[in-house]
Amino acid sequence: MSMSKTNNIFGAFLSRPLHKLSYLGSNMPALMPQTPHKDDVDETWTFLEKGINSVMLNLDQGVDMKTYMALYTAVHDFCTSQKAVSSGQGLQAHRGAHLLGEELYRLLGEYLSRHLDAVCKESESHAEEALLAFYIREWDRYTTAAKYINHLFRYLNRHWVKREIDEGKKNVYDVYTLHLVKWKDDFFLKVHEKVMEAVLNLIEKQRNGETIEQSQIKSIVDSFVSLGLDENDSTKSTLEVYRFYFEKPFISATRVYYENESRQFVAENSVVEYMKKAEARLDEEKARVGLYLHPDITKHLTDTCLEVLVTAHSDLLRDEFQVLMDNERQDDLARMYRLLSRIKDGLDPLRAKFETHVRKAGLAAVEKVAADGENFEPKLYVDALLQVHTRYQNLVNEAFNGESEFVRSLDNACREFVNRNKVCKASSTKSPELLARYTDSLLKKGSKATEESELEEMLVQIMTVFKYIEDKDVFQKFYSKMLAKRLVHVSSVSDDAETSMISKLKEACGFEYTNKLQRMFQDIQISKDLNGSYKDWQEKVLDDDDRKKLVDSHFQILGTGFWPLNPPSTDFLAPPEIVKTAERFQNFYFDKHSGRKLTWLWQLCKGEIKANYIKNAKVPYTFQVSTYQMGILLLFNENDTLKYEDIQNYTSLAPEMLQPNLSILLKAKVLLASPEGSKPAPGTSFFLNHNFKNKKIKVNLNIQIKSEQKTESDDTHKTVEEDRKLLLQVSFCSILLEITNLAKICPTSLRSSVS
């Protein structure tokens, strides 16, 4: 009978009740002609031994149904007999059924020991892979036979073995487990060293690049695992045999192998090549577990490999980190990160080096911008900061897997070079001021950002730098002043862009930070509605002649508590045309809101003047001017020539405001000076240039004066300092208040602490 046929027969035995088994067929004769006498131990065992021998030694031929039934019946009859007779050693009197079972159990154990002694002697003629093949073949034959024999002794397992185990008797197992115990004691313990030596030699060959029969090692591992028995509970298994006899020598051999290999490889190759080798070896060992090792070894094997391949050479790897950073070797940095991140504290020194490197890169980038002097564009400064951040943010994401501690190191470095660099030496608040000015340039009409998405991306980048700004109150002061001008002069690129920026600031710093900014938008909307009402009012109140004389005007009412605007720094006598318009609006406004006060912010007002005096102009030029410039130019409607002193008297402008505005008009050649080439100063005469020419019909003369910009910047910084002092005073008062409250409770202790 073939092996497959035998398996089918015993499979049927396993799955069907005994009385329902049917004969499956065999060409073999019965093993024994008749069943032994049930009370005779020697006769019974002789009968059983022949059957067991047939299973153990001739498994490939199988056992027919008749023989199987005879063997099973012999075990059953002997265990249930009331007495047993033996002519030699053994039982000679009436004894209980459990003793009869014990005799069969003992005889089976002795048989297995004799069988395994023979196997052990035969193994001595084998070595290396031949020994492994012999071990696996015998193990498969033995364990398969054990399953069949366990079936034959099923009645013994159910009754005698179960009762003995339940009563707490040691060294009693079911028949299958008895086979494993005997294998371990009588064969395994005698050959395990030679078997493991052959296994380790085979694995070393594979590590050296040779092809091996991996299934052999898998079978050895499985057998070692199967031999793990719980001494306190034979129904349970452990991994102790596997761990002690396989895992322990395997880990030890692995350590020695990689210590030798890594030492030699480092001596002959670069650090980068070693990292590639170490990473490949770690991957190989991980794959080895899945191929033929037990999963239980994974952590121990990984820890050993990391200790030998990475920890032992960690200083060498870290010394290479700066070189890789300097040369921007991102792939190699990623490889180093992957290796060192797997050992304890492996990355800490790298984070410190990374932070120092980024800080130096940021400082160097700012120095390049500052090399041209102080008059650089804010965009150049902000772009330099962003380029450094973007470069190393990408490095953190790609090479360092976005690890939080490397992100922290990047943030620390950026915070350092954003707030303390060459540009900030003169003023520690320079970064927030420049960032605010750059933001203003983006949000003004004429911004280079052509698409909404492009502008939005730029605002996101602004917030990246803003995150690192320490003096966020300085940014707020400058930003709010610039926003006020954009709103007043209607020069914002779009309301959506302004709203988006404020939303980002609110998300970063909270509601209080942007409260006034949002109120400014509300005032602008209210002013739009108010101007609509004013136009309706004029239609009702004024007659046709008055309406024809009206100056086209637009007014904005700005709340004192929300807008960062100061009253004019100079006296100013507005032209009669403007005065009439202003008075008319005041009358309208006070009718609607009695008890309020209006302060005219002439320095923020602007308008347009049509120049009808210029010769050879096909279309009259239109001058876009500030209110101060308008006041100066309208004087020439009544005068051909005016002296500096006359203009000052008629306008009441202070010299620090009059001179820059006259300079702008002279530079644009709208006015000419006498003597020619004179600068605005007492004694200089001014007259209109009737031959004025310009490529544009609309000429913008409303240009911010540099001295005014510097004064504005100084005033903003001064306001910040005053606000900070006020905040400190409030905090100090809070402390005093707390101390006062404590004094009411315990005046003695307060007195001693204050002194």
Please report, for the domain that includes residue 668, its CATH number.
3.30.230.130
Choose one of 238, 263, 292: the last residue of a domain: 238
- 35 band by pLDDT with thresholds 50, 70 and 90: low
> Residue 493 domain-assigned?
no
> Residue 75 domain-assigned?
yes
Q: In what order do the strands lie in the sheet with 685-688?
A: 641-643, 685-688, 671-674
> Residue 580 domain-assigned?
no
**Residues 682, 724 share a domain:** no
Torsion of CA 163, 166, 167, 169, to 10 degrees: 90
**Residues 721, 699 share a domain:** no
> Residue 574 domain-assigned?
no
**Residues 728, 693 share a domain:** no
Radius of gyration of the chain (CA): 50
Question: Which of 355, 358, 360, 277 lies closest to 313, judged by CA?
Answer: 277
- 66 band by pLDDT with thresholds 50, 70 and 90: confident
Which one-letter amino acid corresponds to residue 47?
A: F
**Residues 635, 748 share a domain:** no
pLDDT at residue 424 above 80? yes
pLDDT at residue 8 above 80? no
pLDDT at residue 191 above 90? yes
**Residues 742, 619 share a domain:** no
Question: Which of 116, 131, 135, 289 lies closest to 220, judged by CA?
Answer: 135
**Residues 183, 47 share a domain:** yes
Residue 316 to residue 172: CA distance in whole angstroms: 58
Quickly count: other Cβ atoms within 10 Å of residue 64's Cβ. Answer: 21
| Tokens standing for residue 281 | 């070896």
Q: Which pLDDT score, from 0 to 100, does residue 744 have? A: 45
**CA angle at 409 for the pair 406 and 414, rounded to the nearest 5°:** 125
pLDDT at residue 543 above 60? yes
**Residues 202, 66 share a domain:** yes
**Residues 127, 197 share a domain:** yes
420 class by beta-carbon count within 10 Å (0-12 exposed, 13-18 middle, 19+ buried): middle
Q: Is 2 helix (H, G, I), strand (E, B) or coil?
A: coil
The mean pLDDT value of the chain amounts to: 83
Average pLDDT over residues 292-303: 93
Which residues contact residue 604 at a Cβ distance below 8 angstroms, ignoring those fewer than 6 apart? Answer: 485, 488, 489, 565
- 740 band by pLDDT with thresholds 50, 70 and 90: very low
Choose one of 238, 259, 287: the last residue of a domain: 238
Choose one of 686, 703, 720: the last residue of a domain: 703
**CB of 440 within 8 A of CB of 482?**
yes
Q: Range of 132's domain? A: 3-238
> Residue 268 domain-assigned?
no
Quickly count: other Cβ atoms within 10 Å of residue 666's Cβ. Answer: 19
For 140-158, the DSSP string reads HHHHHHHHHHHHHTHHHII
**Residues 616, 733 share a domain:** no
pLDDT, tens digit (0-9, with 9 covering 90-100), for 666-694: 999 999 998 888 889 898 999 999 999 99
Q: Which pLDDT score, from 0 to 100, does residue 373 have? A: 75
